[in-house]
Amino acid sequence: MFETFYYDKDQGFKSGLSLDEIRQALSGEGLLWVDMRELDDSDIDLLTSVFNLHSLSVEDLIMSNARPKIENFKDYLFLVFFIMESSGKPGGKINTSEVDFCLGRNFLITTHAGASTVFANIKERVTKQSPIMKNTSDFFLYSILDYLVDSYFPVINDFDAMVDDMSDELFREPSTETLKKIYLLKNDVMYLRRTIGPQADVMNLIARGDYPQVFASNTVYFRNIYDNLVRLNDIVGTSRDVVTGAMEAYVSVVSNRLNEIMKTLTLIATIMMPLTLIASIYGMNFKHMPELSSKFGYPLVILSMFLISVTLLIYFRRKKWI
């Protein structure tokens, strides 16, 4: 299914164009936007017979692509981009969905799977006759891409906040759940790098003015998108360094905790050794032991144990073992 929007400075704004009106719009001087989702046979027929898209482009529109890309054809520019939404939790998988663009002289085709909040907002702006459709098709493409990239910032900020929370938890009270979060965040950061980096490369190609479908005067706008993507990629790169360092920090923190536990247990065992020796001696079942008949034998033994324990504690503290 698809929706159509058309703007002409003489005819004004129209939507819901018929097939004949679409053909007339393509031969006119206005701007035609066709937004498609859940492609069916009638949509494919429209793309091939009316817009004369290359069979490879149609195949890419039907089949999902793993990476952003850009291809230049005779009458249009084919572009693959991604919508990004946050899951709100580490390892919840950053939600992305593919958006394909076909940019022609006076038309723009967008295809995406299912309903999209981003495109719903753009359609609302278009319906209210926002100026974004009163310019050239490449500027309209810029407006949509700029909106998409702006929607990345809350996602990256949420991800950055999750990395900070993980870092605080790591040095406050690390547990096996902390280690799980680190691994999940590591997967997320790799996914973000694979998505944002290639999109920045695509924007760089457009900003250089290599494609005739983009006016030289408008390349500066695409350069702005490129700068934003580079900035986002830098933020993700910093988070990647933090997550990578967190793996090593977790091992160090857990090792230090284990060392402290072993140190405490060793000190307790060391203090208990002479006390156990004294108790063992007086626990022997010999009939003739001089101290057994002493009136002060028991308190003296207890006092000796106490003094030995205190002496050992003072010695350990002076050695800075505790």
User: DSSP assignment of 102-147, as one string?
Assistant: EE-SSEEEEEESS--HHHHHHHHHHHTT-GGGSS-HHHHHHHHHHH
Q: Specify burial of residue 248 (Cβ count, 10 A radius: 0-12, 13-18, 19+).
A: exposed
Beta bridge partners of 13: 7
Of 199, 232, 254, the domain-final residue:
254
Q: What is the tally of structural domains in the chain?
A: 2
The verdict on 58 and 96 lying in the same domain is yes
Residue positions counted in the chain: 322
Q: How far is CA 313 from the centre of its chain?
A: 51
The verdict on 175 and 300 lying in the same domain is no
> From CA 148, how far away is CA 161, in angstroms rounded?
21
For residue 12, the domain's CATH number is 3.30.460.20
The verdict on 194 and 312 lying in the same domain is no
Domain that holds residue 27: 2-254
The verdict on 115 and 145 lying in the same domain is yes
Edge to edge, the sheet with strand 69-72 lists 12-15, 2-8, 31-37, 107-112, 95-103, 77-85, 69-72
For residue 307, the domain's CATH number is 1.20.58.340
The verdict on 104 and 167 lying in the same domain is yes
pLDDT tens digits, 39-86: 888 888 888 888 989 988 898 888 887 688 999 998 899 999 998 876
Q: What is the pLDDT of residue 92?
A: 52
The verdict on 220 and 262 lying in the same domain is no
Q: What is the pLDDT of residue 206?
A: 92
Q: Give the position of tokens 């291809």.
A: 71
> From CA 181, how far away is CA 162, in angstroms rounded?
9
pLDDT tens digits, 152-174: 888 888 888 888 888 888 777 77
Specify whether the CB–CB gap between 137 and 106 falls below 8 A. Answer: yes
The verdict on 202 and 313 lying in the same domain is no
Of 214, 235, 254, the domain-final residue:
254
List of the chain residues with pLDDT < 70? 66, 86-93, 286-288, 291-292
Q: What is the pLDDT of residue 89?
A: 57
Q: What is the pLDDT of residue 109?
A: 93
The verdict on 310 and 204 lying in the same domain is no
Q: What is the pLDDT of residue 172?
A: 78
Of 254, 269, 294, the domain-final residue:
254
The verdict on 287 and 211 lying in the same domain is no
The verdict on 240 and 269 lying in the same domain is no
> From CA 82, how far away is CA 98, in angstroms rounded?
5
> What b/e readout covers 257-268, taking b as 16+ CB neighbours within 10 angstroms?
eeeeeeeeeeee
* DSSP assignment of 205-218: HHHTT--TTS-GGG
Specify whether the CB–CB gap between 245 and 185 falls below 8 A. Answer: no
Beta bridge partners of 111: 36, 100
The verdict on 145 and 106 lying in the same domain is yes
pTM of the full predicted structure?
0.75
The verdict on 300 and 184 lying in the same domain is no
